[in-house]
């Protein structure tokens, strides 16, 4: 069963636009859980332009499903993870001022950086996932660095889906097969949507989790959050 983790960054962006607490990100996360979401994802950035550090603390106390914290492994981020001990920390190679994730780790080149960080988070009891491109070599490097899972960066799949979905999915299937072969878990995220998620899921039998934010929150403007989450869950149903 592939879990749906709802990334609530955009909800925090809307709240921050007015400087008050509407919408309430904790209340929204709890409602997502009630409707059927199996996880909540946040990506606190240094400038707190959406999720704030206090949001992380409040969410950790409130939610009952799996909590996933994404971020660049700066000392500030690592300390926040250790303080709150989410189920999973997803490490991304983003620059501090980056709008959104736009590439995965070159784990081969950054193994010496990542290995001690992974060990540190393991000591805090946190599962570690590395955000990578759909490349079997990077999957293998992530396993060798000690990661528990990889999160495949799916924007290339989303960009190529309309033109040739078979070609778009091929590298992801290859990465999935390598992950299964060597025994590392596999997540996916970035630009997955109601248009392309069902096909992606159907071809990725070892997929454990998808993290979806921007498309899901955008769909909710038209469909409402309850119906939106139900439709995303439908895309993840087993045959």
Active centre residues (catalytic): 43, 70, 190
Q: How far apart are CA 212 and CA 190, in angstroms?
A: 7
Cβ atoms 130, 103 nearer than 8 A:
no
Provide φ and ψ at 88, rounded to 5°: -145, 140
Of the candidates 153, 140, 147, 151, the residue with the CA atom closest to the CA atom of residue 179? 140
């Amino acid at each position: 069963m592939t879990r749906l983790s709802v990334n609530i960054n955009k909800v925090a962006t809307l709240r921050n636009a007015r400087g008050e607490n509407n919408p309430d990100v904790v209340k929204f996360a709890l409602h997502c859980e009630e409707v059927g979401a199996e996880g909540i994802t946040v990506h606190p950035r240094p400038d707190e332009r959406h999720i704030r550090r206090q949001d992380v603390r409040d969410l950790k106390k409130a939610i009952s499903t799996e909590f996933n914290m994404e971020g660049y492994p700066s000392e500030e981020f690592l300390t926040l993870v250790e303080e709150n001990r989410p189920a999973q920390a997803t490490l991304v190679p983003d620059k501090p001022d980056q709008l959104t994730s736009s590439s995965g780790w070159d784990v081969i080149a950054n193994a010496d950086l990542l290995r001690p960080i992974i060990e540190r988070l393991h000591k805090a009891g946190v599962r570690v996932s590395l955000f990578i491109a759909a490349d079997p070599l990077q999957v293998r490097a992530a396993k060798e660095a000690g990661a528990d899972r990889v999160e495949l960066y799916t924007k290339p799949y989303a960009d190529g889906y309309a033109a040739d979905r078979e070609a778009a999915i091929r590298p992801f299937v290859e990465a999935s097969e390598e992950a299964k072969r060597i025994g590392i878990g596999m997540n996916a995220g970035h630009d997955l949507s109601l248009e392309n998620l069902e096909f992606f899921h159907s071809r990725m039998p070892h997929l454990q989790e998808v993290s979806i934010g921007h498309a899901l929150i955008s769909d909710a403007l038209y469909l409402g959050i309850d119906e939106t989450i139900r439709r995303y869950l439908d895309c993840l149903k087993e045959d």
